[in-house]
């Protein structure tokens, strides 16, 4: 690893050249697919970035806590929530989630591509402990991806480094079946507009589980 995924790193990302594209991204399709049919309750989005997922959850009736280490990202996210008329349904928390602890448990704990300066699977362990009984854990993460090279116009963005990635097998191995009912464990690829507008293929891991009472 050539740098640490610390607050300075993320502040630079959120004030750098990728910030505009990241600030206008659509809500994650895995979130919509997995959570769209659930009864709304309380939710936390861990590493919410510019808030697309937090705002979407709020529009679906969830009461949302949205946490991120990067203040510039949260500033954009708050503006998006106000613009979507859900500003009152989202509490924004600027915190380092490798050490921060909520004082409550949530009906939904979700995270999308957050990779802090701690081992990725230990981060997932941490946020899994924030799920209330009967609640849902949804992890959407990066798979380490080398690209297929078989799409002539495909523009590969920098691969997520291995330490920021996890496989479905590695994530589910840490979810004790006595505590968790596994609902989804998938690895897939999808093509989306990259920061420069050109198609970019990314590889995702999606794990969804429900905490037993």
Ligand X SMILES: C[S@@+](CC[C@H](N)C(=O)[O-])C[C@H]1O[C@@H](n2cnc3c(N)ncnc32)[C@H](O)[C@@H]1O
Which residues of this chain interact with ligand X, rule CB under 6 A?
5, 10, 22, 25, 28, 47-49, 67-70, 73, 96-98, 112-114, 116
Note whether 84 and 55 are within 8 A (CB): yes
Strand pairing class (90-94; 63-68): parallel
- Shortest spacing between CB 70 and ligand X, in angstroms: 4
Rounded-to-10 torsion of CA 170, 204, 124, 56: -150
Closer CB to ligand X, 28 or 136, in the complex = 28
- Shortest spacing between CB 66 and ligand X, in angstroms: 9
- Shortest spacing between CB 90 and ligand X, in angstroms: 14
* Dist CA 201 CA 193 (whole Å): 9
* Dist CA 112 CA 130 (whole Å): 16
Q: In the bound complex, which residue of the shown chain has the CB atom lying closest to ligand X?
A: 49
HSE, CB side, 13 Å, CA atoms: give it for residue 99.
Answer: 7
- Shortest spacing between CB 49 and ligand X, in angstroms: 3
- Shortest spacing between CB 85 and ligand X, in angstroms: 21
- Shortest spacing between CB 146 and ligand X, in angstroms: 19
Closer CB to ligand X, 130 or 173, in the complex = 130
Angstrom CA distances, 72 to 32, 45, 151, 197, stand at: 25, 17, 35, 22
In the chain, beta strands by DSSP E: 42-46, 63-68, 90-94, 106-112, 131-142, 180-193, 199-211
Closer CB to ligand X, 48 or 205, in the complex = 48
* Dist CA 98 CA 172 (whole Å): 20
Place of tokens 């610390």: 6
Closer CB to ligand X, 5 or 62, in the complex = 5
* Dist CA 42 CA 62 (whole Å): 6
Closer CB to ligand X, 58 or 73, in the complex = 73
Closer CB to ligand X, 28 or 65, in the complex = 28
């Amino acid at each position: 690893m050539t740098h640490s995924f610390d607050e300075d790193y993320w502040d630079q990302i959120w004030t750098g050249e990728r910030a505009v594209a990241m600030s206008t991204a659509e809500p994650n399709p895995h979130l919509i697919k997995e959570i769209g049919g659930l009864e709304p309750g309380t939710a936390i989005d861990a590493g919410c970035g510019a808030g697309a997922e937090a705002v979407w959850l709020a529009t679906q009736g969830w009461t949302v806590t949205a946490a991120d280490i990067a203040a510039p990202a949260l500033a954009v996210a708050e503006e998006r929530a106000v613009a979507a008329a859900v500003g009152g349904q989202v509490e924004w928390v600027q915190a380092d989630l490798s050490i921060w602890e909520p004082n409550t448990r949530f009906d939904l704990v979700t995270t999308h591509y957050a990779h802090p300066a701690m081992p990725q699977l230990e981060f997932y362990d941490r946020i899994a402990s924030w799920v209330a009984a009967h609640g849902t854990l949804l992890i959407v993460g990066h798979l380490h991806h080398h690209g297929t090279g078989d799409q002539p116009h495909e523009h590969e963005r920098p691969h997520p480094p291995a330490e920021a990635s996890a496989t479905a097998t590695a994530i589910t191995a840490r979810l004790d079946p006595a505590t968790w009912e596994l609902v989804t464990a998938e690895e897939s690829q999808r093509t989306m507009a990259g920061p420069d507008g050109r198609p970019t293929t990314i590889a995702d891991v999606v794990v969804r589980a429900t905490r037993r009472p």
